[in-house]
Amino acid sequence: MIDIAVLLTAFALVFVAELPDKTAIASLVLGTRFPWRWVFAGIAAAFLVHVLVAIAAGQLLTLLPERAVEIVVAVLFLLGAVLIWREGMEDPDDEEAAEEAAVADVPDNAGFWKVAGLGFGVIFVAEWGDLTQIMTANLAAKYDDPLSVGIGATLGLWGVGLIAILFGKTLLRVLPMKWITRVAAVGLVGLSIWSIYRVISG
């Protein structure tokens, strides 16, 4: 049975953590050159694969004793806060230029399979060991609810991908990446503190 609270928690955390990510920049670049539906089909499939891998890793973590799980979760949330804070210090223009160079060889008249395959490949490679993948595994272990976490995380990733494809440049002008990363980092620190409190109190 799906737990809406867990689903919404996973969605919110993954969505905010993915916003400043390099894969959002890659989606933005691809979306400016090719039909958005083709790009989204590829990146959505890649995100789904990564969520499934993360959920499997999270389920393995649940085999540990409960206190050990809480300690691992606290450390990973703290690590995530540091990583996302550092991500916000990078220049989005530099990242965008790098992504544009990566897809420069693909002709503008490329067909669906070429574009979707490119979107899948870029996200598939870039997301291994990424903050949102670690966070999804963390949440799956913390809540021991793989279905709710999986749906929430997938929707969060798809949401960011779609926003990046359709409105990326406008969003970056309205909402500076630095502030997005700061909010996400503070949220992860809060979750880490909560997990440490549960270890101490429990």
* Mean model confidence pLDDT for the chain: 77
Instruction: Identify the burial level of 69 via C-beta atoms within 10 angstroms of its C-beta, where 0-12 means exposed, 13-18 middle and 19 or more buried.
Output: buried
pLDDT tens for the chain, 202 residues long, are 889 999 999 998 888 878 766 666 677 777 777 888 988 999 999 999 999 999 998 888 777 777 777 777 677 777 767 766 776 566 555 554 444 544 555 556 668 888 888 889 888 877 777 778 888 988 888 888 899 999 999 999 999 888 888 876 565 566 666 666 676 667 667 767 776 776 677 6
Q: CA dist 125 to 20, 23, 26, 120, Å?
A: 17, 10, 12, 8
Instruction: State the pLDDT at residue 66.
Output: 72
| Domain coverage including residue 16 | 4-201
Number of structural domains, the chain? 1
Q: Supply the pTM of this predicted model.
A: 0.72
